[in-house]
Each structure stands twice: as C-alpha cells, then as structure tokens.
C-alpha cells in the first residue's frame, strides 16, 4: 500500500488538504490450476478515429468509406449551438493515389462520434497499378490530427456478365444462339460497347464482334458452326476494358436417335397402396409409335437425403439399385401399362423406398435398341396438419373459428383435397 499528499491554492490563500491515496499492488502470484486468470501487460488505448473501407478498387464505380472521430473538444460548453457546431466540426480528407497521379479525392465535415460517408468516383480509365488510400483528419484550426495510409488491391472486374446459350451441346453445322446480359455494381444495365470472340478448343478465334452496343444491357448474337467443327469445349469470350469473361459450351459429333423410349411413373406412391402402375411407349422422331420387344427391370433402393440422389442411368450413384423383378413384354404401337404388385416382392414396401423401372425396347424392323427409365418414391400415408397463423389462436365458445390449415404428408408432400384448391 502507498500513500500520497495533495496540496492546492485557493483565492483566499493556500489550503492544504490531506488526501490519502491508496494504491493496491496486485500480486501476480497465482495457482497453476487457475487457468481462467490471464495477466497481460498490453496497454489498451482509447481509439481516436475509425475507418471502414473496401480493399478492392474497381474502375467506373463509386468508392465509399465511413469515418468516425472518437474525441470531443473541451471548453465549448459556453458557446452557442451554431458556434459549438462550427467549433467541433472536423474535416476529413480522403484520396486514392496511384504511383504517379491522384485518382479521386473528397472531403467531408464531421462531428465527434458521428459517422460520415465519403464517396469517391473512380474513373473507368484506371489500369492495373499500385494504389493507396490516404485519409487525413484536421481540427477546426486546420491542424493535422491523424493520417491513415493503406494499400488497395486493383481488380478489373466491375461488371456482372452472364452468357446464355440456346443449348449446352451442339454439333457441326448447327446455329449457336446466345445472349449476353451485363449489369453494373448498382444493378443498372451496361450501355457502353464491348467485344465478343468465339474460340475453338485450340484457342483460335472463329468469329468476333468488335465494339457492339447492348440494348438495355442485353446483346443477342448468333453464328453457325462449320461443317467440320472440332469436337471439344468452345468458348464465348467477352472483353470490356480490362475485364475478360468466358462461357463454355460443348461441340460433339452425335446423331439423332431413331426413336426414344418413354417411361412414366407417379412421383410418389403411398405405402398403403398394393401396386404401382407404369406407362411405357416408344416413338419415332415423326411422333409415330414404335413396335418391338421390351425388357422391363424393376429395382429398388433406400432413399438417403444426405447423398446426391440424381437418378443416373449408367448406375454411377453412390448406392446401386437392387434388381427385384425382370420381365419381357411386347411393346405395341400405343401406350402400354404395366403393374408391379407389392405383395410379389421379396421385401416389404416401406416409406422412403425408391422404385425404379428400366425399359429396353428393340425395334423389329431396324433392330435398333433404345433405353428409358423412371423412378417413384414410397411416401408415408399419414397426414400432417399444421395451423398457419402469425399469433396464437384463441377459441371462444359460441364464436366461429377462422384460420388457415396446411395439410401434407409426413414427407412434406402436398395432397389435394376434393373440393379445395390445395
């Protein structure tokens, strides 16, 4: 413990006042088992200013930063409100500098503890270089209070460019139709010019459009692939200032199939049903039905919500289907209906089971064979009823009760009630 003596003088004469100042010394000795106590000799100081800014610098954008001064001037209580505002207003000057010139600058008058936003317009002509942000704070008497200098990272991407093609895969001689949608950072359409290039898999420019303009941010273009186009990944490249964006599409050599096989199964099947019916038919490109031999393969697997449940025909899923029934049927020139009876299956049908039907049809005249498939999931038969309301419902005897009710299966599949829309 330490003591001190404090003396001061008044207008009537010296006055001595004994004040006992007690300083408690903190012992650093502690038990090794007390892990919660941590001693730190770091000195924490009250911040004088704060700056919120972005490290990325983009061309043709509005660069904004927020500054706050965390100190107030003393001795201004005797001033009027207008004089106090003038006396306590500080000046913040912000500028973006490159190695050789000043890109943009701005200033703002702020009061202590009041955040202020400074917006700097960045020109579109800036290039890849080294840029710094300098923020200076001045007092009402124009004296420098602080100076903050930080480096900025330049990025040429200042637009959102989306390229949409009419189809993902093309073949030689087909027409490629695409459109380009360009938006600025403020979600307004881009109205300036751009360059568009079409490159083959070897990077050779096959078609280009120079300095074309968009129509309200959208540009629609098209071109025809050569008769002997090289298979592989083609690119549509857009160039706006220094920003380059690419969209890829595939060019492959393929032929239109002679006919297609269509398999239709209900998306969901209740576990109380005794069977499931499928509609199978095959059609030429001329919309004429195909007649031929058909092989039907029924298979099942358990549905797993944690895995990717895309139904791929080549069987590359994480869990393969288990074949339960195979039959040979004749496919007539119409829609054929086939039924799977659940009682004939070796395993019981439970909720969460996926039933898949693969059909292979061989056309009699040409001998061409094509395949198709469809899946159905077994859902729980119990009904889930939920009252929809923003606040709890109160029931009073003798008064009508009004509300909204959501009715669905336990798997959240909606059901249709006769006489109601949903």
Degrees, nearest 5: CA angle 196-202-208: 20
In a domain, 15, yes or no: no
Domain boundary among 129, 154, 179: 154
Run of H or E including 85: helix 81-88
Predicted local confidence at residue 247, as pLDDT: 95
Residues 217 and 180 sit within 8 Å (Cβ to Cβ): no
87, 100: one domain? yes
187-196, 226-235, 347-356, 382-391: range with lowest mean pLDDT: 382-391
Predicted local confidence at residue 79, as pLDDT: 41
4-13, 117-126, 169-178, 270-279: range with lowest mean pLDDT: 4-13
Percentage with pLDDT > 90 across the chain: 46
In a domain, 180, yes or no: yes
Decide: helix, strand or coil at residue 271: coil
In a domain, 385, yes or no: no
In a domain, 400, yes or no: no
pTM: 0.55
Pick from 105, 199, 92, 205: which is nearest to 148 by CA? Answer: 92
181, 112: one domain? no
Question: Average pLDDT for residues 270-296, to the nearest whole number?
Answer: 91
Name the band, by pLDDT with cuts 50, 70 and 90, for residue 42.
low
306, 207: one domain? no
Per-residue pLDDT for 34 more than 70? no
Question: Average pLDDT for residues 10-15, to the nearest whole number?
Answer: 45
Predicted local confidence at residue 413, as pLDDT: 64
Please report, to the nearest 10 degrees, the dihedral formed by the alpha carbons of residues 27, 28, 30, 34 taken in order.
120
Per-residue pLDDT for 15 more than 50? no
Predicted local confidence at residue 183, as pLDDT: 94
Give the chain as a 3 state SS string.
Answer: CECCCEEEEECCEEEEECCCCCECCCCCCCCCCCCCCCCCCCCCCCCCEEEECCCEECCCCEEEEEEEECCCCCCCCCCCHHHHHHHHCEEEEEEEECCCCEEEEEEEEECCCCCEEEEEECCCCCCCCCEEEEEEEECCCCCEEEEEEEEEEECCCCEEEEEEECCCEECCCCEEEEEEEEEECCCCECCCEEEEEEECCCCCEEEEEEEEECECCEEEEEEECCCCCCCEEEEEEEEECCEEEEEEEEECCCCCCCEEEEEECCCEEECCCCEEEEEEEEEECCCCECCEEEEEEEEEEECCCCCCCCCCCCCCCCCCCEEEEEEEEEECCCCEEEEEEHHHCCCCCCCCEEEEEEEEEEECCCCCEEEEEEEEEEECCCEEEEEECCCCCCCCCCCCCCCEEEEEECCCCECCCCCCCC
269, 197: one domain? no
Structural domain count, the chain: 3
Using the CB atoms, write b or e for 359-397: b if 16+ within 10 Å: bbbbbeeeeeebebbbbbbbbbeeeeeeeeeeeeeeeee
Please report, to the nearest 10 degrees, the dihedral formed by the alpha carbons of residues 148, 151, 156, 159 taken in order.
-40
Predicted local confidence at residue 310, as pLDDT: 53
Question: Average pLDDT for residues 266-281, to the nearest whole number?
Answer: 89
Q: Which CATH number fits the domain that encloses residue 180? A: 2.60.40.1930
Q: Which CATH number fits the domain that encloses residue 109? A: 2.60.40.2550
Predicted local confidence at residue 308, as pLDDT: 56
Mean pLDDT value across the chain: 80
Predicted local confidence at residue 251, as pLDDT: 95
pLDDT per position as a tens digit, 370-411: 999 999 988 877 767 777 765 555 666 667 777 777 777 666
Domain boundary among 230, 251, 272: 251
Burial (CB < 10 A; 0-12, 13-18, 19+), residue 100, is exposed
Per-residue pLDDT for 25 more than 90? no
The structure tokens listed for 231 are 């298979």
Question: Average pLDDT for residues 169-192, to the nearest whole number?
Answer: 93
Q: Which CATH number fits the domain that encloses residue 347? A: 2.60.40.1940
In the chain the first and final C-alpha atoms are separated, in Å, by: 80
In a domain, 396, yes or no: no
Q: Which domain holds residue 66?
A: 49-154
59, 123: one domain? yes
Predicted local confidence at residue 320, as pLDDT: 78
375, 268: one domain? yes
145, 68: one domain? yes
In a domain, 401, yes or no: no
In a domain, 286, yes or no: yes
Name the band, by pLDDT with cuts 50, 70 and 90, for residue 353.
confident
pLDDT per position as a tens digit, 223-257: 999 999 999 999 999 999 889 999 999 999 888 88
Predicted local confidence at residue 239, as pLDDT: 95
69, 84: one domain? yes
148, 167: one domain? no
| Greater pLDDT, 399 or 209 | 209
What's the CA gap between 96 and 59, in Å, rounded? 12
DSSP assignment of 312-328: -TT--SSSPPEEEEEEE
Domain boundary among 221, 251, 281: 251
Predicted local confidence at residue 56, as pLDDT: 92
221, 137: one domain? no
276, 345: one domain? yes
In a domain, 16, yes or no: no
Residues 218 and 180 sit within 8 Å (Cβ to Cβ): yes
173, 227: one domain? yes
């Amino acid at each position: 413990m330490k003591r001190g003596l404090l003396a001061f003088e008044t207008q009537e004469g010296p006055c001595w006042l004994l004040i006992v100042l007690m300083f408690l010394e903190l012992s650093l000795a502690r038990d090794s088992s007390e892990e919660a106590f941590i001693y730190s000799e770091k000195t924490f100081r009250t911040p004088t200013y704060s700056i919120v800014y972005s490290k990325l610098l983009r061309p043709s954008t509005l660069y904004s930063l927020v500054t706050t001064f965390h100190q107030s001037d003393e001795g201004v209580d005797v001033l009027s409100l207008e004089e106090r505002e003038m006396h306590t207003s500080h000046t913040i000057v912000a500028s973006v500098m490159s190695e050789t010139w000043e890109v943009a600058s701005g200033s703002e008058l702020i009061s202590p503890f009041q955040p202020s936003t400074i917006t700097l317009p960045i020109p579109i002509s800036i290039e890849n270089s080294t840029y710094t942000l300098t923020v200076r704070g001045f007092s009402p008497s124009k004296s420098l209070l602080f100076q903050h200098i930080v480096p900025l990272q330049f990025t040429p991407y200042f637009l959102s460019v989306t390229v949409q093609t009419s189809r993902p895969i093309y073949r030689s001689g087909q027409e490629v139709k695409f459109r380009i949608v360009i938006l600025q950072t403020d979600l307004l359409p881009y109205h300036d010019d751009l360059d568009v290039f079409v490159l083959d898999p070897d990077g050779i420019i096959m078609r280009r459009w120079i300095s074309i303009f968009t129509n309200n941010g959208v540009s629609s273009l098209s071109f025809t692939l050569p008769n002997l186009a090289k298979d592989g990944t083609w690119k549509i490249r857009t160039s706006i200032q220094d920003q380059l964006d690419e969209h890829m599409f595939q060019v492959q050599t393929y032929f239109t199939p002679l006919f297609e096989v269509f398999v239709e199964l209900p998306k969901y099947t209740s576990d109380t049903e005794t069977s499931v019916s499928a509609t199978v038919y095959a059609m030429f490109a001329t919309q004429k039905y195909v007649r031929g031999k058909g092989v039907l393969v029924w298979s099942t697997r358990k549905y797993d919500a944690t895995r990717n449940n895309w139904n791929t025909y080549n069987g590359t899923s994480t869990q393969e289907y288990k074949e339960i029934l195979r039959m040979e049927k004749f496919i007539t020139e119409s829609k054929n209906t086939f039924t799977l009876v659940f009682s004939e299956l070796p395993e019981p049908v439970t909720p969460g089971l996926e039933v898949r039907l693969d059909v292979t049809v061989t056309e009699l005249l040409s001998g061409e064979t094509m395949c198709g498939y469809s899946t159905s999931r077994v859902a729980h038969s119990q009904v889930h009823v939920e009252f929809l309301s923003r606040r709890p419902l109160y029931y009073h005897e003798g008064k009508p009760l009004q509300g909204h009710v959501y009715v669905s299966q336990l798997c959240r599949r909606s059901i249709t009630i006769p006489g109601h829309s949903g």
